[in-house]
Amino acid sequence: MPVVLRIPRIVEEGFEKASPRSSEFRWRVGVGAAMLMLVAAMPWLVRWRPPIEGRVEPTVSIVKNEEESDIELLPPLYAKANSSSLENESGMVEVVDGLVVPSPSGGSQ
Amino acid sequence: MSPTMHSEQPKLSVAFEPRSGAQGSLISAPELSKLPVVQQIVEKLGGPLLELCRRARRVGPVNAGAIVLLAGCHDGVGSSTVALACAAAASVEWPTALVDVSSSDSKVGGRNLTQLLVGQATAGWEDVVSGAAPMDEAVHYLDTREALAFFPKSESQRLGLRTAEFSPADFAGWLGHMRHEYGLVFIDGGSMDGSAAQWAPWVDAALVVCDPKRTSAADWTNAWDRLEERGAHVLGIVETFV
């Protein structure tokens, strides 16, 4: 065959075939992804407590037991300050029911 | 004359094999940074390409330049790339012209030479032949020395906006002018399936570009015969993608 020139197949430089990713690259990507997931899960990890078997959770009763309570429930103030009560110097209230006002002596004879 | 008879002649069966190293490269070849593949071909095969150009130059008239047609056996065998590489190598020794006459299906990297080197040409070689545009308006130099001139196809002709009308006398006159201006004129004729064969009567020599993986012996023999029947002297076959 009268071939005067043979030109080989020339691949354009700079257009490299994509090489398979190395194991080192995969390892770094895996560690990075794990760190990212750990950081993202931090808020949830801080709040969470694992349940202990047999432990009684502290509960607050809605209905108060009056015997155990240190606070004495008092009636409203207007109920104390009626017309037949007086307040002494120390601020204590004294019941003055049955007080009889003496009549002036020698007045009506 | 059939290619088989040519193969029996030792002068035409000599192959210019690629040579590595400085012997094959051309130091003063134009920079074709836009086309790295062509650049690499010229760098690696500059010597054999220049030797081939010298042979083509000897086929032409003594006192004028030679016109060489590059015809591909099929589309996409790289005839435009080979034409550009040959022109770049020849421009080291002579003022060289490259003319894109290929049909639009002849491409380098998906585009034809005009689209690749110029983009959209307002004036092409058809306008010069028909007298619609001067030579200076159509020529595009591909190097700083202005030793490698490129004549694109007219954009209006390509889009069918205007039909080139010129007589054979106009055409012969333009080719004669090209012979005097340039030592070698390479015509990228595209494929033999297209319009390459019709350029055979107007050229001094022809090169058949084939991809050996796609082209059978019958294909290049047929292309060789068709070119010679129309008056072209076939220099030989350029195999691509080897």
What distance in Å separates the CA atoms of residue B126 and residue B50, rounded to the nearest whole number?
A: 29
Residues of chain A contacting residue B44, judged by C-beta atoms under 8 Å apart: 8, 10
Are A12 and B37 in contact (CB < 8 Å)? yes
Is the pLDDT at B179 greater than 80, yes or no?
A: yes
More confident residue, A53 or A10: A10
Residues 6-45 of A with CB under 8 A from B: 6-10, 12-14
Give pLDDT, residue B4. Answer: 43
> Contact B86/B186 with Cβ under 8 angstroms?
yes
Is the pLDDT at B236 greater than 80, yes or no?
A: yes
Residues of chain A contacting residue B220, judged by C-beta atoms under 8 Å apart: 1
Give pLDDT, residue A55. Answer: 63
> Contact B223/B232 with Cβ under 8 angstroms?
no
More confident residue, A74 or B200: B200
The sign of the dihedral angle between the CA atoms of B26, B7, B209, B167 is positive
More confident residue, B137 or B20: B137
Percentage of chain B beyond pLDDT 90 is 45
pLDDT digits (tens, 9 = 90+) for A80-89: 555 555 555 5
Is the pLDDT at B107 greater than 60, yes or no?
A: no
Q: Is B166 in a helix, a strand, or coil?
A: coil
> Contact B57/B183 with Cβ under 8 angstroms?
yes
- Considering only CB atoms, A2 lies closest to which of B40, B44, B237, namely B237
- How many cross-chain Cβ pairs, A to B, lie less than 8 Å apart? 72
Is the pLDDT at B157 greater than 90, yes or no?
A: no
Residues 2-31 of B with CB under 8 A from A: 3, 6-7, 12-18
Global pTM reads 0.64
At residue A75's C-alpha, the angle toward residues A69 and A80, to 5°, is 135
Residue with the two structure tokens 């070849």: B29
What distance in Å separates the CA atoms of residue A81 and residue A77, rounded to the nearest whole number?
A: 6
pLDDT digits (tens, 9 = 90+) for B13-72: 444 444 344 445 555 667 677 788 888 898 889 899 999 999 999 999 989 999 999 999
More confident residue, B163 or B91: B91
In 3D space, the residue among A1, A98, A34 whose CA is nearest the CA of residue B219 turns out to be: A1
Q: What are the start-end ranges of the E strands in chain A?
A: 3-6, 85-87, 93-95
- The predicted model gives B80-85 an average pLDDT of 92
At residue B211's C-alpha, the angle toward residues B209 and B216, to 5°, is 100
Give pLDDT, residue A95. Answer: 54
ipTM of the complex: 0.73
Give pLDDT, residue A79. Answer: 54
Are B14 and A4 in contact (CB < 8 Å)? yes
Name the region of B173 (left: φ>0; alpha: ψ -120 to 50; beta: rest).
alpha
Residues of chain A contacting residue B238, judged by C-beta atoms under 8 Å apart: 3-7
Percentage of chain B beyond pLDDT 70 is 80
Half-sphere exposure for B114 (CA within 13 Å, toward CB): 28
Inform me whether the C-beta atom of residue B223 falls under 8 Å from chain A C-beta atoms: no
- Considering only CB atoms, B17 lies closest to which of A6, A10, A12, namely A6
Structure-token pair, residue B119: 């983009």
Give pLDDT, residue A16. Answer: 42
Q: What is the DSSP string of B174-210?
A: HHHHHHHH-SEEEEEEEETTTTSGGGGGG-SEEEEEE
Give pLDDT, residue B242. Answer: 82
Are B241 and A9 in contact (CB < 8 Å)? yes
Single-letter amino acid code for the residue at A75: P
Kindly report the average pLDDT of chain B as a whole number. 82
How many C-beta neighbours within 10 Å does residue B172 have? 12
CA distances from B104 to A12, A46, B76, B84, B194 (A): 23, 70, 11, 16, 9
More confident residue, B216 or A104: B216
